[in-house]
Amino acid sequence: MPNTSPANLPLIGLLRSASGRFALLFTAMFAAAATAAAVVLWWNTAGALDRQTDAAIRADATALVERQRDAGLPGLVAAIEDRLALDVQNESLYLLLSPDRRVLAGNLAVWPPEAEADAPWIRMPLLRDGTESEARMLRIDLAGQHRLLVGRDVAEKLRLRGLLSEGIAWAASSSAAIALLGAWLLRRSLERRLMPVYGTAAAIGAGDLSRRVPLSDRQDEFDRLGMTMNAMLDRIAQLMEGVRGVSDAIAHDLRTPIARARAKLEEALNDAADEEALRAAVEQGIADLDGIARVFKAVLRIAEVEAGARRAAFAPVDMVPTLADAADLYGAAAEAREQELAVDLPEALNLVGDRDLLLQAVANLLDNALKFTPDGGRVALSARVLDGVVEIAVADSGPGLAPDDRARAGERFFRADTSRNTPGSGLGLSLVRAVVALHGGVVVLEDTVRGRQPPGLTVRLRLPKG
């Protein structure tokens, strides 16, 4: 027994397919256009013939009524006979009836029963010379209870209408065939253009993230869709690579402190001479675990910022007091290392953003700058508005960053070779980049002083004002 479930019915399958729906829409529009053309053609041909016939009958009847009014009944009879004599095509029909139903003039033998209806216009069958035909008649009630029928034999016009109907039927059949062929070609074309997308999506679903949608040289809507999908896939691959890198970095950077904390606690448990030594070991272990917790907290903070969860806290803020607070916070650390912390801020620096996140980003930059600047060095915090963009810069006189390292700076847990022995987890600049990206800005890294050694590093945060 054949399967007749809805999913296997051709029409249902066609409607569930986007290309099928487009094809059906094309067919419907083509059919509507063909129907409109047929209606216009019919109105301008068959309809025009009917209107022309009615106009001729009405004009003839009006002339006969005028003749009866001017010349009386004999004049009307003479006018009818004259018209019949001049009717070469034998299309005119007349019948003048007396009050006692005698035929006074005309070429009809009897008064037709159709003429007894209330409507003055009638259409009736007609038998002339043994041939069936059709007549279009107008009934007129004359003075003195005389009755007049004026009409035309429309057999020829009916034949023309039949030919027109046959032509329209053939044209409609041809249009339907062309519409179906066009719909099939349209569906095939859509499916052929979308087939690479299907293949790419299936390959990616199977785990091959290197596949991309092939593009043509047409630069049409399908190519733009393919370019958008490829950009999305590139971003997904980048994020997946970042996840793998973060996982590797967490495993690498946290393995040592976890192992160290465990070793110290185990050593204290086995070898502690007294309670004081055991307490010191426990406190050191707690400090190591707190450092690990801070790393995880920083990773979660970066993920939260990158997800845009803090965008709801955006509000107009003047960054000058915020930057001044950050400078005051790190001023004591700079003095302890005999470093100079220079501050150059305008009177106002207004933008729309999250004050706490921006403060943390600037604090991370100042912390890094003070950390990598040698004792007696200089760190500068400055800000300005340039072409509608708020620029916050932190410059130091430390070792700087090599061009290859700048390209990777901001990746989670990335640390340059020169900073391997410096405390930190490599997440500070990652958080800065995430905060700036959340605000729609960019982070620019450059040498503080070009051509000198050490060159120092300047980090510029360029943020839109609103």
Summarize pLDDT for 9-45 with one digit per residue, the tens: 455 555 566 666 777 777 777 778 777 877 777 777 7
Cβ atoms of 51 and 218 closer than 8 Å: no
- Amino acid at residue number 14: L
**Which range is least confidently modeled, 209-218, 258-267, 357-366, 372-381?**
258-267
Nearest-10 Cα torsion for 397, 399, 403, 409: -90
Comparing 428 with 417, which gets the higher pLDDT?
Answer: 428
Q: What residue has token string 């106009």?
A: 55
Specify the higher pLDDT residue, 451 or 94. 94
Is a pLDDT exceeding 50 seen at residue 440? yes
How far is residue 156 CA from its own chain's centroid? 58
From CA 229, how far away is CA 448, in angstroms rounded?
40
* pLDDT at residue 19, rounded to an integer: 63
pLDDT of residue 392: 92
Q: How confident is the model at residue 329 (pLDDT cuts 50, 70, 90)?
A: confident
pLDDT tens for 196-206 read: 888 888 888 88
Does pLDDT of 61 surpass 60? Answer: yes
Nearest Cα to 412, choosing from 308, 302, 257, 254?
302
Q: What is the pLDDT of residue 165?
A: 76
* Sheet-wide strand order for 121-128: 103-106, 92-97, 147-153, 131-141, 121-128
What pLDDT band is residue 419 in, cutting at 50, 70 and 90?
Answer: very low
User: For residue range 21-31, what is the model confidence (pLDDT) as tens digits?
Assistant: 777 777 777 77
Q: What local confidence, expressed as pLDDT, does residue 253 receive?
A: 59
| pLDDT score recorded for residue 116 | 80
Per residue in 276-302, pLDDT tens? 777 777 777 777 777 667 666 666 666
pLDDT of residue 437: 83
